[in-house]
Chain A
Amino acid sequence: MDWGSILNNTLAGLLTPTILAFALATLGLAMHFGFAGLLNFGIAGFMAVGAYGYAISVLTFGLPWWAGMIMGVAASVVFALIMGIPTLRLRGDYLAIVTIAAAEILRLLFLTTAFEPVTGSADGLFGYNNSGGFADANPFPPGDYGWGPWTYNEQTLWMLVFGLTVLAVATLLLWALMRSPWGRVVKGIREDEDAVRALGKNVFAYKMQALIIGGIFGALGGIVLATSTNVSPGVYVTSLTFFLWTALLLGGAATIFGPVLGSIIFWVLQAFLTNILPALAESGILPVSGIQAATLRYVLVGIGLMLIVIYRPQGIFGDKREMTFVK
C-alpha cells in the first residue's frame, strides 16, 4: 500500500474547485433548510441551472463569460420562482417532493436528445471557458504555484481564486443577512410561521426571498463547478443533492461556517475513502473486489447520514437549540 500517495491525494482534496463548488451549494442549502426551514431536495437542480445557464449563454448565445454567469444566476431565480409559487404555501414535505421532482425534470430535459444542439445531451457541454473568455481573463502568468500536494498551474489557480472569492462573498453575505432584521424574520418563520404571520409579516414573500437567495448560492456553486470541469447531466443527479445534505448536516445546518466546513470534511473524507478502499482491497486487507470497494464508500455515506441525523442533528458545529424547528 502506497500511504504516501493516499495521503497526498487526500490532502490535495482539501482545496479543489469542486470542493468550493459543493461548499457554495451547501451554503445555499443552509439558507434554505437551516435558516428558513425550507426542505429543498432540488439543490442539484439549482446547480444545474447555474452551470447550464452559464455554458449555454456562452456557447449558444455568444455572451462573454461574466454575462453568461449572470444569466446562470438569473435562471436560478426563475427556477426558484417556478418552484416556490405552487409550494411555499403548503406543508414542508410538499416542497421536498416538488423540489426533488423539479430537479429531476431539469436533468431529464438536459439529458434528452431532443435538445442536443443546445444542451449536448449525455455528452454535456464544454469549451465555454475558452470561447467565453473566462480562461483569457486569468490574471496569473503561466507557471506552477503552491507547494507539496497543493501545487497548481496558472489555470487551476485562477479557478481556485475565482471560486474562493465567490465563496467568501457568499459566506459574508449569508452572515450579514442572518444578523439583519430580515434574517431574524426568516428564522422566526422557521420557528413558528403563524406567530410571524400574526406580527403582520408576509411569510410567503420572506420564504420566497430565502428560496431565491439560497438558490442563487446553489447556482453559483454550479457555475464554479462549470469553470473547472465540463457541464455534464450525470453530475446533477438526486444523489448529489443527498450528498450535499449530508455535508450540510455534518457541519451544522443552522450555522454560517458549518456548511463550508462540513463540505470540506465530507469531500476530503470521500477523497480519502476513494483512495484507501481500493488500496485495501488490492492488498487483500478487505476481502472485496476493487469495484465493490468503490461502492462501499457510498454505503458509508448513507450510514453516516443516518447516524448524524439520529445522534447529532445539529451537526458538528451546530447548537441544539437552533434545531428545535425540525418537527
Chain B
Amino acid sequence: MQFLSASNPKRLLSSLLLLLIAMVLGFGLGATPASADSVGEDLERGITGNVKLDGEPLGGVRMIVEGGGYNAETVTGADGKWYIGVPGVEGDTYKVTLDQETLPEGIAVTGEGGATKDVVLGKTSPLVSNFFIGEGTRVTVSVFDQVVARLIYGLNFGLMLGLAAVGLSLVFGTTGLSNFAHSEMVTFGAVAALVLGAGLQLPMWVAIPAAVLLSGAMGWALDAGLWKPLRKRGLALVQLMIVSIGLSLTARYLFQYFVGGGTEQLPGADSTMVPLFGSVALSMTDLVSMAISIVVIMGFAWWLLKTKTGKATRAISDNPDLAAASGIDVDKVIRTVWIISGALAGLAGVLWAYFRPGIKWDMGAQILLLIFAAVTLGGLGTAFGALIGSLVVGILVETSSLFIPADLKYVGALVVLIGILLFRPQGLLGKKQRIG
C-alpha cells in the first residue's frame, strides 16, 4: 500500500482513525458528520475546498487526495468544508477526487473533468480545489438496469445502422462498388429534414417522409448522373471506389459550406421520456424511431424476397452476367437499388440526427466505418447479413461503454471488424467464393 509507505507511524495511526471515521460517516451516519473535516494539519501544505449545492453546504461528502505516493481522505464537515494536508512541495501534482457515492441521491459533480481533478501545489497554501455540483446528471441505476438500457439503445442504434447498411450492401452486391459516399447520403437525409422541418417550418410528419423521398431522388440522380455513365465508360471498381471518396469529400464539405460547422437540432428532439420499467426510460422519439426502423426493414425484406425487382436484385448480386442473360434489365434494377439505398440512408440519417442528437456536416462520416463494419461482419453484398451485422455492431457499441471509456466505444466495433476478417472473412452470411 502506498498509503503505508509514505506516512510516519503517528500520522498513519491518525489517518487510519480518520479513515475509519470517514467510513462510518460516509456510509453510516451520512447527513450528520462531526467535525472530522480536516486531516494532516501538521503538514506544511494542504488542499482545501468547500462542497456546496445551490449555496447550501453539503456535509458527509468523502474527499480523497492522492499523489507522490501519498494518499489521504476526509469527509466534509457540516459547513461543507474540508482540508487535507499534503507532504509535497511547490509544483507537485495531486489528484483530488470527490466520491460521488457519498452525494445525496440524484446529485452529481457537473463541472468539467467530473469528480476527479489534478491540482498543482502553488506558492500559497492551502490550495483551494472546488467542484461544481448540480442535480440529476449522475446516473444512479443498478447494473442490471444499465445493461438493459444499453441493450435497448444498442438495438435502436443497430436498427438505424441497419437501414444504412442494407443499402450499402445492396449497392455493393449489384455493382461491386464500396461506396464511401454512402455516409453523405445519410447526412443528406438529415440535412433535408432540417431544411424542410426547421427551414420551411413544415410539420415533421411531412418533413421526414419528404426528406426520405428527396434522398431516394438523390440516389436516382447520383446513379443517372454519375455512376451509370462511369460504368458505361468502363471505369474499374477501384477507380469507382476512389471516385466515391472524392464525392464523399465534395458532399461533406458542401454540407459544411451550407449548414456551417455547428450542430443543429431537428424539431421534436427534446421529447418526453417514457418510463419502461425500473429506471429504464426511453424518449418518445427513440420509441418511434425503433418502430419506424422495424416497419421499414420488414417492408424492405418483403420487397427483396417477394417482389420481382427484389428477386432480380438478388439474382444480379449472385451473378450479374447470368442475370442479364436471363432477361433481367440490369441497369433498371441497379437504378432501383440506388433509389432504395438512398432513401434508406436518408431515413437512417434522420433517425441518427435524433439519436446523436443533432445534425452536423460530418455526422454521416462518423458512422461510415461502423456501417462498413456491419456490412463486412454480415458478409459483403448480403442484405440480411448487413442487417444482422448492424444489430451486432449497434449493441456492441452501446454495451461496450459499460466496460471501456465512452470515447473508445467505436473501437470495439472496429476491432471486431478486423477480427471477423481473421476468422470468417466471408462474414456471417456470406459465401466463401466471394472473398476470392
Contacts and interface: CB of A to CB of B under 8 A. Distances in A.
Interface of A: 39, 83, 85-87, 90-94, 96-98, 100-102, 104-105, 108-109, 111-114, 238-239, 242, 245-246, 249, 288, 291-292, 295-296, 298-299, 301-306, 309-310, 313, 326-327
Nearest to B421: A86
Interface in B203-249: 230, 233, 235-239, 241-243, 245-249
Interface string B236-265: 111101110111111111101100110000
B199 interface: no
30 contacts: A86-B422, A91-B436, A93-B178, A94-B376, A94-B421, A97-B376, A98-B421, A101-B372, A101-B418, A104-B414, A105-B414, A112-B405, A114-B408, A238-B365, A246-B246, A292-B257, A295-B253, A295-B256, A295-B257, A296-B257, A298-B249, A299-B249, A299-B250, A302-B249, A302-B253, A303-B246, A303-B250, A306-B243, A306-B246, A309-B239
B54 interface: no
B414 to A, nearest CB: 4
What 7 pairs between A and B have smallest CB-CB spacing?
A: A302-B250, A302-B249, A305-B246, A306-B246, A298-B253, A86-B422, A101-B414
Contacts of A86: 418, 421-422, 425
Majority secondary structure of chain B interface residues (helix, strand, loop or mixed):
helix
A28 to B, nearest CB: 17
B179 to A, nearest CB: 11
B351 to A, nearest CB: 23
A252 B261 CA distance: 34
A96 B318 CA distance: 23
A277 B436 CA distance: 47
Given A39-B241, A94-B425, A97-B376, 17 more contacts: A86-B422, A91-B435, A98-B418, A101-B369, A104-B410, A113-B405, A114-B408, A245-B245, A298-B253, A302-B249, A305-B242, A306-B243, A306-B250, A310-B230, A310-B239, A326-B236, A326-B238
Contact of B407 (A83, A113, A313): A113
Contacts of B233: 310
A299 B405 contact: no
Interface in B394-415: 404-405, 407-408, 410-411, 414-415
B246 A111 contact: no
Given A90-B425, A101-B417, A301 B249 contact: yes
Contact of A299 (B230, B253, B414, B418): B253
Contact of B249 (A113, A114, A242, A313): A242
B241 A111 contact: no
Nearest to B229: A310
Interface in B366-390: 369, 372-373, 376, 380
Interface string B313-347: 00000000000000000000000000000000000
Nearest to A41: B245
A290 to B, nearest CB: 12
Contacts of A310: 230, 233, 235, 239, 243
B197 to A, nearest CB: 23
A222 B373 CA distance: 27
Most chain B Cβ neighbours within 10 Å, of A97, A108, A109, A249 = A97
A306 to B, nearest CB: 4
B92 to A, nearest CB: 15
Most chain B Cβ neighbours within 10 Å, of A91, A109, A288, A299 = A299
Contact of B410 (A98, A108, A291): A108
Contact of A327 (B236, B252, B407, B421): B236
A102 B237 contact: no
Contacts of B230: 310
A309 B408 contact: no
Contacts, number: 128
Contacts of B422: 85-86
Contacts of B253: 295-296, 298-299, 302
Contacts of A304: 246
Contacts of B242: 245, 249, 305, 309
Nearest to A86: B422
Nearest to B422: A86
Given A302-B251, A327-B236, A327-B238, A105 B415 contact: yes
Nearest to B248: A302
B261 to A, nearest CB: 7
Given A96-B178, A97-B372, A108-B408, A313 B239 contact: yes
Most chain A Cβ neighbours within 10 Å, of B230, B242, B410 = B242
Contact of A114 (B248, B250, B252, B405): B405
Contact of B247 (A102, A306, A327): A306
A39 B238 CA distance: 8
A101 B246 contact: no
Contacts of B256: 295, 298
B254 A299 contact: yes
B238 A302 contact: no
Contacts of A301: 249
Nearest to B251: A302
A102 B418 contact: yes
Contacts of B254: 299
Most chain B Cβ neighbours within 10 Å, of A39, A108, A109, A288 = A108
A273 B114 CA distance: 42
Most chain A Cβ neighbours within 10 Å, of B178, B235, B421 = B421
A45 B225 CA distance: 34
Contacts of A93: 178, 237, 241, 380
B247 A302 contact: yes
A102 B410 CA distance: 12
Nearest to B250: A302
